Each structure stands twice: as C-alpha cells, then as structure tokens.
Chain A
Amino acid sequence: MFSRPIVIAICAVGAAVGIAAVGVLTLGGGQSWPWQARADAEWQVLERYCITCHNDIDRSGDLSFERIDRADFSKHADIWETAVRKVRTGFMPPLDAPRPEPEVLDRMAAWLENELDRAWEASPNPGVKPLARLNRQEYANAIRDLLAFDASAIAAELPVDVAVDGFDNNARALTVSPTLLEAYATAAMQIGRRAVGDLTMGHGETRYTAAAGRAQRQHVDGLPLGTRGGLVVEHVFPLDAVYEFSVGASASRKGWDNPTGAMVWCDGPAVDVTFNGAPIDVRSPRRFRLRVPAGPQQIAVALVDDERCAGVNELYLGEIASPGAVQSLTITGPFDAEGAGDTPSRREIFVCHPDQGAEESACARQILSRLATRAYRHPATPDEVEELMAFYRLGRDEGGGFEVGVQYALSRMLTSPRFLYRFEHEPEDVAVGEVYRISDLELATRLSFFLWSSIPDDRLLALAADDRLGDPETLAAEVERMLADPRASALVENFASQWLLLRELDEAAPQDPGFDGGLRAAMRRETELLFADLLRERRSVLDLLDSDYTYLNERLAEHYGIDGVRGSHMRRVALPPDSPRRGILGHASLLTATSAPNRTSPVVRGQWIVKNLLGAPVPSPPPGAEADLSAEAAESENLRGNTVRERLEMHRASTACSGCHGMLDPLGLALENFDLIGRWREHEDGYPVDSRAEMVDGTRLEGPADLRRALLARSDAFVTAITERLMTYALGRELEHYDKPVVRSIVRTAAKDDFSLHALVHAIVASDTFQKRVKTGADPTFASAVE
C-alpha cells in the first residue's frame, strides 16, 4: 500500500510547510497569521481525532489534551513527544477509532515535531550522563589496550553486568558491592602477575569447550584440513614453563558381537594436536605435558578424519554408536617456570629495564607515568605517579625486586576508581542549571568507549590533552580513523550483539534435533558479518532491512536450503530479489532468539520488530488480561487451534487484547514461514502455514517479503529507531523526551548520506547531547529534579 516515494513526498511537503511557517515567525514565538492558520488546522485534527477520547471527562490513558498549553511546547514536551511517536508508528488513533487519511496524520505529526524542535533549540537540554563504571567487556578491552594483555578469561569471572533498556553499559545498572570490589581487586592482582610474568604465580586451569553436536562430524573452520570436529583457541601462556594439556574426547569402545568390550578402536579416536599450525608428537593425546614459551599460542585439537583404523574389521565400524568427538581442552599450569619470557605485555610494559642499564627508580617512574596516563585517560599528575611509586616500593621491598614492584603498582592502578570509573567533573565557573561543554579529555573518553568500548589510544589522548579535539574537523577526522580501526569491531560485539539479540541466541535452547553449537555459531557470524559490513563499507543502515547478499557457510546454507556453498568458512553469497533471506528478518539468528524452545512465537517477534525497527513503545497488557485468556481457554475445553496462529486468534476475539495485539501479532505472523530455528516451512505440523496479516493501518502482508517492503516504506521510523538505540548505547543512559529533537536532527543529517551508519555515528558525536552537560551542582535535590 505504502511505497517509499510517497512517504518521502509527504514528509517533504510537511517540512516545506514547516519551513515556510518558521520563515515568517516573529520573535515572540509565532503569532504571525500563516503560523496561526497552520496551527489552527492542526488543532482541528487534534480535536477531531484525539480529544474525542483524551479529554477531561474520559481521560483515556489518563491523558487529556483539552487544556494543554498550545503556545508553549516546552511545557509538556514529554507528553507531546510520546503522542507524536504514537501517531508516527500507527499506535494512535487506535484500531477501532476513526482515523483520517495517513497524509493528514503525517502533517500533524510533522508540525508537532517542528514545534518541539523549535522549543528545544530555544533552550537546549543535553541531559546528564550519570557516572559509569567500566563493565566487563570494557574492562577486558581496556586491559588489552593498556597492557597488550588478553584478560578475557579473568574478566569472564567478574560478576555479570545487568542489561537495562537492552544494553549492559547503562550507567545506573552498573552498581557496586563489596563482592564486586573484591572481584575487581583480585582481578587486578591476577592481571598484574600475569602481564608482568610473576614467577611465583600459582597454577591455574583454563578449560575450552568444543561446540557440541553435528559440528564434531564436520570440518571446523580454522582447523587443519583432513580433520573433523575439535576446537581451535588462542591461549596466552603467562610464563616460559611446563604446562599440562588434557583433551576430553569420547568414542565408543565396543563393537558388535564383542561382549568383553576389549576391542579398542584405534586406542580411542585419533586426536591431532597442532601448535601454531605445526603438529606435535605426543604419546598420549589425552594428557600430556609440554614446555611452552610465554606468550600467545594457537592450539588446535581435532580428530583425524579417518574412519579406518588398523586392526578393526570394517564390519564392526557400522555398529559403533558414536563416531567420537573432541569435547574439551584443559590447560593447567605453569609448572617449573623458567622465566618470564618475552610476551607482548612485557614488551608493552617495560619500555625501559634495569637489566638494560636504566636506573631502577627512574625507570619505574617512566613506566608508571606512561601507563597511568592511558589508564586514567588524562596526563598523569605528579601526585598520581607518587601514589603508584609508593606501591612500587612496597612490592620491591617485599623481596621481589624491580619487576614485582612494577606489578604491585600496576595492581594499584587497575584498582583505582580513576581507572574503573569514567569521571566527568563540573567546572566551578559555570552556574547550576547551565549547559556547558565537557572537556576534550572527557570527550575523548566518551568517544573511545562509544566506538571501541575501550580507553582512548595515545593519539586521541594527545589531541585531547592539547585541546584540539573539540575542533569539528579534527573530531570528524578522528571518528573516521576510529571507525576504520579494528577496535571498532566493538560496535559489532557489544552494540549489534545486544540490539540484534545475538547474546540471547547464545542462551537459546531450541528443542530441535537440527540445532547444535555449530549451527548457532554460523547463525551468529552471519548477522555479525552483515553488520560489520556497514562499518567497513560505509553502507546504509537500510541494508539491514533488505540486503542483496548475506554470509553463509555450508552448514547454514544447507539450513536455508541454498545450494552451491561448500566448506566451513563464512563467505558472501548473493541473494536473488525474491529470497526470503534478504535482511535481518530472514536471519536464523534473530528468528531463533525470538522463538520459544518448542515453537515459534509471533508475539515475541512482533514485539521485537515494533520496539527495535519501528521505535514504538510497546504497552503492557492491561490488568486482568491474562485472567481473561485462561478463562476463555477453560471454557473452550482446549486451547483451540491446530497451529500457533490459530491459537493467537484469541487476541483478536477479545477487545481488551486486540488494541495492542493488533499491532504486534501481524508482524510476527508474516514471519510464520520461518520455524523456531529459522528454517523455511510451508507446513506446520501438517497444516499449511498461513502468513497473511493486516497491519494497523490496513497494509496487507503475506509473507516476509511483504513485511520487508512495509518496513522499508517506513524507513524514517526504522532510522529513528536505530538512532535511538545507538544513542542509548553511546550515552549509557535511557533517552528522555528532551533527547528526541536531537534524534530527529540526527536522522535529517544522516538522510543526506543515505542513512549510512557512518553518518549516524558522526551526527551523534557532533550533537550537543554527546558534547555537553547540564551542571547539577552539589545539591542532591536539584539533581533528582533534573533526572
């Protein structure tokens, strides 16, 4: 029904009228005749279609527009913003109420938005970014960039961070407790020991588990050809020492007509172990010890893909219950340490060393001051360095010498709130309630945590320390540099994986024999790679809705019923125009994460689309809604319906339910051809799949292609939605009504670059909300009023 060109034209018309109206405004806020005529026209629309329910007597939704201030939009901006959003996304007027033509509603919404934007510009409000602690990912990344040390295993044992509003970097959710503090302090000590290479460190045990299931019978990407199953990991060995390796592998040991079970199939399955690609000779691959130099090594453990073994009669092979699998690799150590070796972290830390003639104390000072500048994100002050030197002396005097001293000081640095928290100090020469620019160093930190989920690098810090970062051209150049940097993969690992439910996918447990770890991994990679392309190739975010290619390996292609893809690595595959796999709504990752363990869930899918692709707030069920459903079900003996869809019809039957489910269900029902793990199906339990649905505004859908087109027709809503998600992530706080004008402005700017992800990022960084704050001062009551 809608197609893109018409919507753009309407917006253009609306904008044109808006611009014309602004053009003739007087300073007093618009009492000129053209403005008033337009305003009157829009109020008429409001009165005819909104105030019929939202008036002082009926007060639907506890809201009345009757006596709201019509001249000063800043007065109830929060109500207006919610109203505009509901109109834009079709939630209001409700399904059963009279609606005008879509153009009329669009005009009114555009006019309201324009008024709200003007009110905001008269008194901009960037809000307040609450004090944020580093979450686990940020902590691990910061250590990586600070010390060239992989702390992911240590960070994985810190208490889990709670996600609020979809992201785990929400400042308010990052609370602290004595347990957490102890965990961070202990982690700091462990990292100190391992990064420096302390010969007295105790032995630890790291266990890697292989993806279970079918993956074990096929070649795993990254392992040597000619093997099957297994796993490949990069493990950081902290010292030159002996390590014990233990491979957990299973195989059936009994054969047919072999009562004693004494026949052994190749002494257990043949296991191949390689170090950095080179095979090593071990007597018993199940458990062996090896001397390994310090540093990162790539270890691969796999089964030799050979079903033949000496001494086994082929007749017996058919009876073997399981062909064997590698389950785990456990590395314990270090034992018999010889030395700290030459690891990337030691090279990063020891820019000088007494062994090379440097004077101990001066060298320590040099090391610590350099690292502190990075860790604290500002040039280290003499007091800060002195604090660290005190710990250096403590460690050195405990008998460990120079290196242990540095280690103690490092632990001190990593336990400091200056490292763990991102402080933003309020200048004294600004009045409370005034908007001010944050410092360049604070801006550098916001920028690096947004794009890299990590600390700023030396170049960014230098520009900021020199007060040059605030210059718009320099800032834009830095954003470009950062987006091109490999560290920008954090946007995929943290932003995309939370927004697109990839972390939920990790926890999903579908009751489907076709699902296993290998398929899950491929699903995840497909979505990650598509999103990563937005960064690497400056693509439009609309490519997420309708892409002419995707990433597949043999396993995933088979799952999708696509021929001609061989091998375990993910590669780009073109998709024809009628392919249901175009865009994320065809990705098995999202389809699985929005399903129940034993069936699809159109409501969950619809809800995700409404929230994340249309940006509409999803209302809660009214009180008593659930009671109604079960009562009706009890009366009808059974939950009638052969298919999930039929059972959902109850949502239509009850008026209490259809108001909202009329918006949610159709979007999910249009995807019913995708089963609970994203396979295409024409039948569900023998009944033909019915993917017809009607959206709130009457748009008829049948199948995912129609849904895709409908969403593309509402691309403004989609871009607004993704901008809001990105801003929530960038700021580490939930968005408020006073952020919406900024969102609109960002969307308008990004339109000029075809809505590329790059343009969105640039516009967010350039916004007042990202670069400024409101001073709240020392009075807590003022602070809570602002928040």
Chain B
Amino acid sequence: MRYLTKKHLSRRTMLRGAGVAIGLPLLESMIPAGMRRASAAGVPPVRLGFVYIPHGAVMSRFTPGEEGREFTLGPILEPLEPHRERFNIVSGLKLAAAYVGDSSAAENHSRSSKCWLTCMPDGTGPSPASADQIAARHIGQETPLPSLELALEPGSSIAYATPTTPLPMEVNPRVVFERLFGDGSTPEERAARQRQLSSLLDAVTGEVASLQRNLPAADRERMDRYLTDIRELERRLALAADSPLAELEVPDKPAGVPSDFEQHAALMFDLLAIAWAADLTRISTFLVARELSNRVYSRSGVTEGFHNCSHHSEVPANIDRLAQLNVYHTRTTIAYLLEKLATTPDGDGTLLDHSLLLYGSGMSNPNQHDHDPLPMLVAGGASGRVQGGRHIRVPEGTPAANLLLTMLHKVDVPLESFADSTGLVEI
C-alpha cells in the first residue's frame, strides 16, 4: 500500500500557493500572468486566430504551381484574390501526430482536428496545451476573455487547455453575445451580475477544499482542476470589471442559431471581429465544421454530404464536386473574414493589419486520409511583422508545429520549441 508521497503534495502546493491560475506543468519560459505585457506606445496588440476546415482539400487546386511572389491562385483560393498582399500560402507542412494511433477512419479524422493545434498525438505531451491556449496564457491574460472558441457545428474542439481537456466551442451566436457583453439589459445590471458571480465563485472555492477529503485519488484530481478553473474565472471577472464595457456600442443581440449556413458563419465572424475590435479577447479558434461532418451545404450547389464528397475515389466528377465545395467554403468563411477584418478600423490601421490568422486543415488528401502536405495559409499583417503576397514552399515533411511556433513568436510568446517543431517558417 502506498501513501501520499511528498512529490504529490508539492505539486498541489504549487497549484495553490503560486497565485498563478494554471494547474499544469509550468513552462520554464512562462511570464507570470499578472505582469502586463509592455507594449511600445501606440502599437496595437496583435490578434491571433485559427480557422479550421475539415477533410483537407483538393490539393492540386489549392496549391499554386509557382513559388514566391509571382503565382496564380488556384480555383479554391481564387475568392481571396482581392487580399492577395495580405496572406501567404504555406505548402508542404506535415502533421505527423495525426498518423499516430488507431488506423480506423474515424480515429484518423478526429485526430486531424484534435492534433492540428497541439501537434501531438491525442492526449499526450510534451506540449501542455494547444498553440492558441499557450498564446492565451501569455497575451490573453490582459483581456476579459483570454480566448474565444467558436464553431459552426457542435461536438468537436480544436482548442486544448491541457492534453486531455478540450475547451467547448460555442455554436450559438446569442450565447457568444452574452459571454462578450454580459447578461443584462443595462450596464448597471451587467455590473451587478458580475459582482454576484464573483461572490458565488469565491464561496465555492472554499467549499471544494472540504469536499476533497475521502475522495478517491482520481476524483480528487478532477476537483483540483475544478478549483483551478474557478480561480481562472475569478481572475477574468476581475479584469472585465476594469474594462470600459459601458462605453462599447453593443449591437443587437442575435436570437439564436440561424438555419442558413452562410448567415450563421457571417454572424459568428462579425461577433469575432467585434470582440477583437473591442479588445475583449485577442485570441480565437474557429471550427467551420467538425471532422466526419456529413452536412449538406445547399447553397454551394453540391447536394452530397461533406464527408461523403471528400471520398472522391479519384473519380474526376467527384473531385470536381469536392473542389466546388472547397471554393464555397473559402468564399463563405476565410474570404468573408478577411474582408470583414480589412474594413474594420483599429488604431491607425485595420484589424487585418493587426492580426495573424491561420486557415487550413489537419488533413491533406481526404480520400487517402493523409496529413501532408497540408493546405494552410497565414493571413494578416501582425502589426507590421508579416509581409504577405507569397507562396512559400517548405521542405517536404516540415512539421506543422514550425508554423505554429513562428506564429507564437510573432505575438511575443518566447518558446524555444513547440511540440515536434524543428525550426521556424519564414512568413
């Protein structure tokens, strides 16, 4: 029979005593959350976004033939032509983690999205969280919401707070609205609600301690995480109380989930743009559809389900059909978002100038279920740190983590490596 070892105790002490709202292995290079990031006067903070589309793409029509600045956009990315100077296509990346594990189709698909931002096999380290959450711990601590997870379909997540804790991605625009602007009709009401919420959470923290006694070890660990989450929530509320929500021009609250895909997508992207413009959050992940989704996009002209389309079996008519769907998705998602960001003023420029977005998939050829070369593009100016307008071809087998690490560096997250990264990508 083994008893509590000192090792176990000190991990818990570290959780409680550190005052840092993180219940995970600490990154050596972490900046304590309480410290405000020193920013040069007048330079707006960079917003980080990740937009995921499942089932890869028809790669021959996604990837341009030429490299460098002189390239022709393939049909799938053609809708992005007006913003050509604001994005780079990055070809040749590989998501090795998605190959690891049960070879069944279902597992292969679900790994594509689960590993996209963690670059590690499902549920393992060394990366303690997905790239967006790592960024959230650095640059997300200054905003009321460290990060915002949005989706157009429920039931899946690409954001991981720990290797085994996916964050829920919200599908309902009304719920997103309430999370951004609070529940209540007037600013006074909203403030009152926040105060009440704070006292509730404070009280619960004390309660959890007494509950830990006589719990089996595995359950105790869950309560530990619960406690951590409460503290994190309290911290966010304190930040929100400080921010000038009352001065925001709050739009009309959406009624619910629109039945039309394009309307739903537009509404969610609009909310994302508002959230960024108002500095309510600086990091967001967005799931256009989950892996294995068999949704029919009636306005795309394709009447077959998405997943079924992705298994084209090399039949030319089927490949055309999948490509048609790919173009539709580009138009209604990333093209819409880039246009929206490009026309939203932010400081001395636009939101697009001050953001860094990744659009892509964890799968390459969906018919083969392979995970390289991935369809990926990086958009936004990152406040002057990124120049667009190029097709960048990386050496075959370059880990996708290299691109994620590069993006993290662009937002001043000083990590030496991320997951299986071997270097950086010149974006």
Q: Give the B-binding residues of A (Cβ under 8 A).
A: 128, 130-131, 157, 159-160, 162, 175-183, 185-186, 188-190, 200, 202-203, 205, 207, 330, 387, 390-391, 394, 408, 411-412, 415-418, 423-428, 431-433, 509, 511, 596-598, 620-623, 626-627, 629-630, 633-634, 638-639, 775-784, 787
Contacts and interface: CB of A to CB of B under 8 A. Distances in A.
A596 B305 contact: yes
List 5 tightest A-B contacts by C-beta distance, closest first: A620-B104, A159-B168, A131-B219, A202-B185, A425-B214
B215 interface: yes
Contact of B296 (A157, A387, A597): A597
B27 interface: no
B207 A780 contact: no
Nearest to A203: B185
Interface string B354-370: 00000000000001110
Contact of A633 (B106, B203, B303, B313): B313
Interface string B306-321: 0010010111000000
Contacts of B296: 509, 511, 597
Interface of B: 1-4, 8, 102-107, 149, 154-155, 161, 164-168, 170-172, 174-175, 178-179, 183-186, 189, 193, 196-197, 199-201, 203-204, 207-208, 211, 213-223, 225-226, 229-230, 232-233, 236, 253, 255-256, 294-296, 303-305, 308, 311, 313-315, 367-369
Contact of B217 (A427, A634, A780): A780
Contacts, number: 199
B165 A415 contact: no
Given A207-B256, A596-B294, A780-B221, A621 B104 contact: yes
Contact of A179 (B149, B189, B204, B367): B149
Given A629-B313, A782-B2, 19 more contacts: A157-B175, A176-B222, A177-B161, A177-B167, A178-B229, A182-B179, A391-B199, A417-B204, A423-B219, A426-B214, A511-B296, A597-B296, A597-B304, A598-B303, A620-B105, A622-B103, A626-B368, A633-B313, A634-B313
Contacts of A128: 216, 218
8 contacts: A157-B172, A178-B229, A178-B230, A186-B178, A186-B197, A391-B199, A412-B200, A425-B214
B315 A639 contact: yes
Q: Which of A175, A596, A627, A783 has the most CB of B within 10 A?
A: A175
B207 A178 contact: no
Contacts of B3: 778-779
A179 B145 CA distance: 10
Contacts of A639: 313, 315
Q: Which of A162, A509, A597, A777 has the most CB of B within 10 A?
A: A597
Given A415-B204, A431-B1, A633-B313, A176 B225 contact: yes
A202 B183 contact: yes
Nearest to A619: B104
B201 A185 contact: yes
Given A189-B197, A394-B199, A638-B315, A425 B104 contact: no
Contacts of A330: 255
Contact of B165 (A175, A509, A626, A779): A175
Contact of A778 (B4, B106, B203, B204): B4
Contact of B170 (A159, A423, A629): A159
A428 B175 contact: no
Contacts of B105: 620-621, 626
Contacts of A183: 175
Contact of A630 (B172, B174, B216, B367): B367
A190 B1 contact: no
Contacts of A784: 218
A704 to B, nearest CB: 25
A369 B197 CA distance: 22
A623 B103 contact: yes
A597 B223 contact: no
Nearest to A639: B313
Nearest to B218: A783
A777 B216 contact: yes
B215 A131 contact: yes
Nearest to B200: A415
Contacts of B218: 128, 130-131, 776, 780, 783-784, 787
B216 A783 contact: yes
Given A131-B222, A511-B303, A596 B308 contact: yes
